[in-house]
Structure 1
Amino acid sequence: MAGAYKTPGVYIVEKDAFPNSVVEVDTAVPAFIGYTEKAQNKGLSLINKPFSISSMAEYENYFGGAPNDSFKIKKLEAELAEKDKKSENTYFSENDVHYEIAQEGHRYYLYHSMKLFFQNGGGKCFIVSVGKFADKKIERSVFESALDELLKEQEPTMVVIPDAMSLGFGDCNTLQQLSLAHCGERMKNRFAILDVHQGYQDKNTAVADADEKNCITQFRNKLGTSFMAYGAAYYPWVNTSIVQVTDLRFTNFINLIDLKKILSDDIDLTMQAPNKKAEIKEIISKIPSGAEGEVADPEYNAEELHKSLFNLCPMYKNVLTVVQEKLNLLPPAAAMAGVYTRVDNSRGVWKAPANVSLSAVLSPVVNISHDDQEDLNVSTTGKSINAVRAFIGEGTLVWGARTLDGNSLDWRYINVRRTMIMLEESIRLATKAYVFEPNVDNTWITIKSMISNFLTSIWKRGGLAGASPEDAFSVHVGLGETMTAVDILEGIMRVTVLVALSRPAEFIEITFQQQMQKS
């Protein structure tokens, strides 16, 4: 200022010509919570510490590889061969003999879900390891602690917990409620992507571990009513191509004595050539079963033995194929996190993440008809569940775009909720620069101009509805408009932003009518 000058001379004063700008925040940075093989970075533990990665190679570097899933196989009597629809076990038949394969211990979903995420367009994300596979126990409390740790991170915009599907129904349901509260109450800037517990079951089949009629009913009835606008659920689970049959070995079975007998019996049943039969049975006998008194083969090579069995014993290959299909059954939330990322990057967060094909997905586990989806999409409870459906010639598509608050006209659609989160966070971070600035006209005009410029750019890209910026949004700030004299005395600046968000054309009606011949 002129009054500060003491010595005669020429002084240069530079003034900012342009106001601060609003920078659009990232919208697709999911945080995945689950168990890992390891959790280490340069000797430091990453257990319960959110850690950013951007590729599957980085994940494997810091968190290790796939879990060593273990199975038991047994032969069934003919009358027991029909599949128990409540069971998670896999049933199959070979040469009129019936078998059951059951997984031993917990199923860890995170590793394969991460592959599904990156296959569907995923990018930067956070991993919160709650423990190692060696812990042998899945507990709800460790997931709750991970959600508390995520409160310290500002970047994540989505929360996905694939391993919640290995909890019992009650614990899974409670954890999903906590996820919604984390997103909608504590952070207010995140979106939870939920799976339906036991969502591999048909919606008309009663499920185990619950007192409700089916998986959809139990999911809706026990989820509560709080913060539904901050989450979306998807059904059914999907058959993927993530796990290859070459990833599996006979070492994935813990009852190798039974496996050897099953393979030998099948050879006796199907093989006619005596020499060939003896050769294959000799190879089968070399599988180390751990039986008492068994003499180890000094030339034993697990990999060579596996290759020989795979090439010469059809039953062995079929058993591994059944296990492969079981491991490829995955909940869809991680794939949807990838779809959100892909759609956000290509079209913008305001585009509904629906009518999009899923990569590395062969089919939904349950085929949903048009009539079946009516109850999923529109429910008296308001808890809409988005369908994953197969269409002839199009593959597997996401066929729903609703939040769990399906009866709300404000927050019915996923893209509306997520767009509003983006606008709120972008403007909030930009206006932090004006905290403690004078609460006067000049500041008000600057803030209004800054927000208007930002919203104009969003409108030009199709993020807001309206033929002109005036139709799409308006920004209000000032004495007598949004504030009283008392507000100013108390140091409060109130800014009101009105936006017209674009909504998807969920139902398209085309009317046909005959008309009179004109010529």
Structure 2
Amino acid sequence: MTEFETRAPGIYLQEIETAGPIAGAGTSTAALIGTVAGDPANIVLGKPVLVTNWTSYLREFGGFSKPLSLPYAVRGFFENGGTLAYIVPVSDMSGLESALEALTHNLDVSIVCLPGQTDFANQVKVINHCEAMGDRFAVLDGARNPDNTADTEPLRTQRDGLMTERGFGALYWPWIRINDTEAPANSPEQVTVAPSGHIAGVMARSDNQRGVHKAPANEVVRGALNLEHHLNDAEQGVLNNLNINALRTFPGGPPMVWGARALSSNTAWRYVNVRRLVAYVSDSLLQGLRWAVFEPNNTALWKALERTVTEFLTRVWQAGALFGRTAEEAFYVKIDEELNPAPVRELGQVFIEIGLAPTRPAEQVVIQLGLWSGGGRVNEA
């Protein structure tokens, strides 16, 4: 409380700051790690640099240079709706761990990409980083067949090395074809590039338009003219059951994201949007409840925490992120003496138990079609 001026005895009104509502944490800032084309003398390797558009990237790191994947990924990120990205330049993957360590200081990052890198040993490091931070998600590129065929065996081997219990990453395949900006204007050509930067932009766009609870799928990949391989439903069904997200084209349409699976062996974390939603809620609570640190640990604090968390989660439910006809069906918040007995309080700790019922995507829409003659119905198998 601020110092109060001495006055005559009486009752006076003084405004004070109280715990405000929790503001939702950002979910669309990406970090992209890779090799850049700029002058090495002017670039600090392993240092994250924030860029806000493609022009600022060109100014900081130079443009395209085959076979680099990062510039194409960055342009694809902004082209698909991304607005903020940290670029972490490395000379090669020996600098990956240092790059990830540097990103631990950038708390606004929520998506991490390693464009063009399909070695699962390096991709696992990115997933582990995201899991350790708890507030970010890895968007990874599926492996190409060395013979440039549709054989998915390398992809399946890669996937086996990436599956985790908690699902802090997702794998996307096949690679996409875009306009080659280095080709002469009178002789346009296409170049095949990794999709992860474009997918990160799709996630940012979907988050801003619908919310992080909406699966970033059934979305157009802007800038993609074609796919390196075209899957049919049966082929995608196999990949989908392996938690590999496909990019598809349908008659007359552009390439689209057509999968929403996370790399999780636990069905609770099967979907990308569920993992990202829980990360969003966790990060928002961590940021929005700092006011409670060092407050007296008593029932008044518990009630204030319960009110603040409930108000935030009610807004999350109203946005369509949680399943339930009422807020009580969608979530619960518990903070009481059962969770916080005297020994816990003596340690200076407060425990809050929160349960969520997240909405999951309608991944398979089943139509039961039958013939109706007015009185009876004949179903088609």
When normalised by structure 2's length, the TM-score is: 0.91
Question: Which of 246, 250, 264 in structure 2 is aligned with 1:391?
Answer: 250
Structure 1 position 144, deviation (Å): 2.2
Which string of whole-angstrom CA distances, capped at 9 and with x for unpartnered residues, describes residues 277-333 of structure 1? xxxxxxxxxxxxxxxxxxxxxxxxxxxxxxxxx7xxxxxx5xxx6xx43xx201111
Q: What residue in structure 2 maps to residue 423 of structure 1?
A: 281
Q: What residue in structure 1 maps to residue 231 of structure 2?
A: 368
Aligned residues: 373
1:183 to 2:143 alignment: no
Structure 1 position 36, deviation (Å): 1.3
CA 1:363–1:440: 2 relative to 1, 3 Å: same
Q: What residue in structure 2 maps to residue 150 of structure 1?
A: 103
Structure 1 position 424, deviation (Å): 0.3
- Alignment check: 8 A CA contact 1:199 1:237 kept: no
Q: What residue in structure 2 maps to residue 269 of structure 1?
A: none
Q: What residue in structure 1 maps to residue 120 of structure 2?
A: 173
Which string of whole-angstrom CA distances, capped at 9 and with x for unpartnered residues, describes residues 102-158 of structure 1? xxxxx2111122111111111111001114xxxxxxx32112221121122111111
1:128 to 2:67 alignment: no
When normalised by structure 1's length, the TM-score is: 0.68
CA 1:468–1:18: 2 relative to 1, 3 Å: farther
1:53 to 2:51 alignment: yes
Distance 1:202 1:459 in 2: 45
Spell out the pairing of 1:12-23 with structure 2 (5 A cutoff): 12-14=12-14, 16=16, 19-23=19-23
Q: What residue in structure 2 maps to residue 204 of structure 1?
A: 151
Which string of whole-angstrom CA distances, capped at 9 and with x for unpartnered residues, describes residues 156-186 of structure 1? 1111011425xxxxxx2211011111111x2
Q: Which amino acid aligns with 1:226?
A: T
Q: What residue in structure 1 maps to residue 379 of structure 2?
A: none
Structure 1 position 204, deviation (Å): 2.4
Structure 1 position 8, deviation (Å): 4.5
Q: Which amino acid aligns with 1:436?
A: F
- Alignment check: 8 A CA contact 1:28 1:341 kept: yes
- Alignment check: 8 A CA contact 2:164 2:263 kept: no
Q: Which amino acid aligns with 1:496?
A: E
Spell out the pairing of 1:337-348 with structure 2 (5 A cutoff): 337-348=200-211
Structure 1 position 11, deviation (Å): 5.9
- Alignment check: 8 A CA contact 2:70 2:116 kept: yes
CA 1:490–1:228: 2 relative to 1, 3 Å: closer
Please state whether the residue corresponding to 1:25 is helix, strand or coil: coil
Q: What residue in structure 2 maps to residue 509 of structure 1?
A: 366
Distance 1:110 1:5 in 2: 60
Distance 1:199 1:339 in 2: 25
Q: What residue in structure 2 maps to residue 159 of structure 1?
A: 112
Which string of whole-angstrom CA distances, capped at 9 and with x for unpartnered residues, describes residues 326-380 of structure 1? xx2011111100100000000000000011111111111111000101110013x
Q: What residue in structure 1 maps to residue 35 of structure 2?
A: 35
- Alignment check: 8 A CA contact 1:144 1:175 kept: no
Structure 1 position 17, deviation (Å): 8.1
Distance 2:354 2:241 in 1: 31
Q: What residue in structure 2 maps to residue 245 of structure 1?
A: 183
CA 1:143–1:199: 2 relative to 1, 3 Å: farther
- Alignment check: 8 A CA contact 2:116 2:194 kept: no
1:450 to 2:313 alignment: no
Q: Which amino acid aligns with 1:217?
A: R
CA 1:389–1:437: 2 relative to 1, 3 Å: same
Q: Which amino acid aligns with 2:222?
A: S
RMSD: 2.5
Structure 1 position 512, deviation (Å): 2.0
Distance 1:232 1:156 in 2: 17
Greater helix fraction, Structure 1 or Structure 2: 1
Structure 1 position 194, deviation (Å): 0.6
Distance 2:163 2:63 in 1: 38
Distance 2:375 2:261 in 1: 45
1:215 to 2:72 alignment: no
Structure 1 position 228, deviation (Å): 5.5
Distance 2:221 2:354 in 1: 36
CA 1:462–1:404: 2 relative to 1, 3 Å: same
Q: Which amino acid aligns with 1:204?
A: D
Please state whether the residue corresponding to 2:345 is helix, strand or coil: helix
User: Equivalent pairs: percent with the same residue?
Assistant: 29
1:234 to 2:172 alignment: yes
Distance 1:5 1:109 in 2: 64
Unaligned runs of 5+ residues in structure 2 are: 377-381
Question: Which of 346, 351, 368 in structure 1 is aligned with 2:214?
Answer: 351
Q: Which amino acid aligns with 2:167?
A: A
Please state whether the residue corresponding to 2:366 is helix, strand or coil: coil
- Alignment check: 8 A CA contact 2:165 2:266 kept: no
Structure 1 position 518, deviation (Å): 4.4
Question: Which of 64, 67, 72 in structure 2 is aligned with 1:66?
Answer: 64
1:195 to 2:141 alignment: yes
Distance 1:39 1:469 in 2: 55
Please state whether the residue corresponding to 1:470 is helix, strand or coil: helix
Structure 1 position 243, deviation (Å): 2.3
CA 1:395–1:242: 2 relative to 1, 3 Å: same
- Alignment check: 8 A CA contact 2:248 2:258 kept: yes
1:110 to 2:67 alignment: no
